């Protein structure tokens, strides 16, 4: 008899509602899988299923949660040794809403420390492994969530996306990853990296599950003044074709630097778009080539301010055998922060320092404005924009850790969208040398329903089979 772990989240919820599947038994089956995790995808696993509200629409289907989200009484460490063992007194709004809808927390997933990374290798608890090939990275920073879903250790998960941290690991692990419009989902209870860029989003086996989770995550929150919710209800996608849609192809994000195997899958996707009735049009995003440079000034600058709170006084690790307050700060941060976090704090502090603020941070913000203007101009001509999600497939562990610039360039296709505050989704487009390739669809602000419909139609046409990664 099936234990239900082969089902998508939506399918499992339907069977639970119909009385064909037991929610406690499904949770127990996933808990056993998560507890036996050999991918280092989980950092903490729940002992037992929490109570699920009667009639909850998600039926008790368990949820994997990125370690960046606070959960009351549960280790919430942001993948960092400086917060090792920290158990917050409150729960993030997104986690709380999903639990209330019937998706109890299965466990906390591994991630790059404070979401700073594209491979999960900067985690203070060791890297998560890619279930397609355990010698390779799962992507980052939400690598643990992506690996857990791809491997069948969880039916669905949530992560956070600052510069691509939901979409890029979704691409490398062969799952669906959605970054909503900035402000659609509350950031309350997300341990901050870069506040003007951070946004929570789902990682799922298919587009329907992504829509279902988003429908319960989104909404205004009095605890987050930047959160407006979505102007219309999220509708589960059912589109079979792309008739009437014009899809833009920007040469700046689809040209140089894309691996041949990724390009082959991308070009096949363009043909599928046309076969489904969509029309293709080349568009210009002239400032997108400066997006990486702007992002790696703005995000570290905001991180240097946000991470100043980790000083050994209020919570988390505290260095011992110190002589004064300054030594306490220095030793705590030296022992608790990893190399990548220290690097970004130093870059950000320098960019914000007197005499350099306008030259670096001010210039980066002006580029950000230009990028947003480019997208607005493009959406006057096209409905959606399509690109590869990542310029490469999953690469071997350790290959890029000694070259931070090479690691940063992995976000080349995903960074422009957060800078513009617009939504984007990554869906599996096929395989290159046996490894998944992601396809990214981006739309104007608050166009989630259109993006989900188009992604669903494309997903059905592609017919990607991710079962090879499941344990």
DSSP string, 260-281: HHHHHHHHHHHHHHHHTT-EEE
Res 372 pLDDT > 80: yes
Pair of tokens at residue 39: 């991918």
Return the pLDDT at 20: 95
DSSP assignment of 345-360 equals HHHHHHHHSTTTHIII
Residues known to be catalytic: 66, 141, 165
pLDDT at residue 97, rounded to an integer:
98
Render the burial of 90-127: b for 16+ CB within 10 Å, e for the rest: ebbbbbbbbbebbbbbbbbbbbbbbbbbbbbbbbbbeb
Strand partners, 279: 246
CA distances from 365 to 119, 354, 372, 424, 466 (A): 26, 17, 11, 21, 40
Give per-residue pLDDT as tens, 163-176.
999 999 999 999 99
The helix (run of H) or strand (run of E) holding residue 214 is: helix 207-217
Going along the chain from its start, the domains and CATH numbers come out as 9-245+381-469 (3.90.1300.10), 288-367 (no CATH)
| Cα dihedral: 468, 216, 57, 233 (round 10) | -110
Give burial (CB, 10 Å; 0-12/13-18/19+) of 428.
buried
Q: Is 221 helix (H, G, I), strand (E, B) or coil?
A: strand
Taking the whole predicted model, whether its pTM rises above 0.85 is answered as yes
Q: How far is CA 390 from CA 7, 117, 416, in A?
A: 27, 14, 13
What is the pLDDT at residue 314? Answer: 85
**Per the structure block, which two tokens stand in for 237?**
């996608």
Quick one: pLDDT band at residue 255, thresholds 50, 70, 90?
confident
- Residue 238, SS3 per DSSP: coil
Cα–Cα distance between 418 and 167 in angstroms, integer?
Answer: 11
Q: Average pLDDT over the chain, rounded to whole? A: 96
Antiparallel, parallel or unpaired: β 384-388 and 435-442: antiparallel
Position 107 scores a pLDDT of 98
pLDDT higher than 90, residue 362: yes
Q: What is the pLDDT of residues 100-121, one digit of tens each?
A: 999 999 999 999 999 999 999 9
pLDDT tens across 204-215, in order? 999 999 999 999
């Amino acid at each position: 008899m099936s234990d239900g772990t082969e089902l998508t989240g939506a399918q499992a919820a339907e069977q639970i509602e119909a009385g064909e599947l037991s929610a406690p038994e499904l949770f127990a089956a996933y808990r056993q899988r998560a507890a036996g995790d050999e991918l280092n995808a989980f950092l903490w696993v729940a002992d037992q299923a929490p109570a699920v509200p009667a009639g909850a629409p998600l039926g008790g289907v368990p949820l994997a949660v990125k370690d960046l989200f606070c959960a009351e009484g549960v280790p919430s460490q942001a993948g960092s040794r400086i917060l090792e063992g920290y158990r917050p007194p409150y729960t993030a709004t997104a986690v709380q809403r999903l639990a209330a809808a019937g998706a109890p927390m299965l466990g906390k997933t591994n991630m790059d420390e404070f979401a700073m990374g594209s491979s999960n290798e900067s985690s203070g608890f060791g890297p998560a492994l890619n279930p397609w090939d355990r010698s390779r990275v799962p992507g980052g920073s939400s690598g643990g969530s992506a690996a857990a879903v791809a491997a069948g250790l969880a039916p669905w998960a949530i992560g956070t996306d600052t510069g691509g941290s939901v979409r890029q690991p979704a691409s490398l692990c062969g799952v669906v990853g959605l970054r909503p419009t900035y402000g659609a989902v509350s950031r309350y209870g997300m341990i901050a990296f870069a506040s003007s860029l951070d946004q929570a989003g789902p990682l799922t086996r298919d587009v329907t599950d992504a829509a279902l989770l988003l429908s319960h995550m989104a909404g205004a929150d009095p605890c987050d003044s930047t959160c407006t919710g979505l102007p219309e209800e999220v509708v589960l996608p059912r589109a079979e074709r792309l008739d009437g849609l014009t899809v833009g192809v920007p040469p700046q994000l689809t040209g140089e630097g894309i691996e041949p195997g990724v390009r082959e899958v991308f070009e096949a996707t363009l043909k599928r778009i046309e076969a489904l009735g969509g029309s293709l049009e080349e568009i210009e995003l002239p400032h997108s080539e400066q997006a990486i440079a702007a992002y790696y000034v703005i995000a570290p600058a905001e991180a240097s301010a946000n991470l100043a709170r980790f000083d050994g006084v209020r919570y988390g690790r505290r260095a011992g055998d110190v002589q004064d307050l300054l030594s306490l700060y220095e030793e705590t941060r030296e022992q608790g922060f990893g190399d990548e976090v220290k690097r970004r704090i130093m870059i950000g502090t320098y960019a914000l320092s007197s005499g350099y603020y306008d030259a670096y941070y001010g210039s980066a913000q002006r580029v950000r404005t230009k990028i947003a203007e480019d997208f607005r101009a493009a959406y006057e001509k096209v409905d959606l924009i399509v690109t590869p999600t990542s310029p490469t497939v999953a690469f071997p562990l350790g290959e890029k850790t000694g070259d931070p610039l090479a690691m940063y360039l992995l976000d080349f296709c995903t960074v422009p969208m957060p800078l513009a505050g617009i939504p984007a989704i990554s869906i599996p487009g096929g395989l290159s040398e046996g490894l998944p390739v992601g396809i990214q669809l981006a739309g104007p602000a608050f166009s989630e329903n259109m993006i989900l419909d188009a992604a669903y139609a494309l997903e059905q046409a592609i017919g990607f089979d991710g079962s090879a990664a499941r344990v």
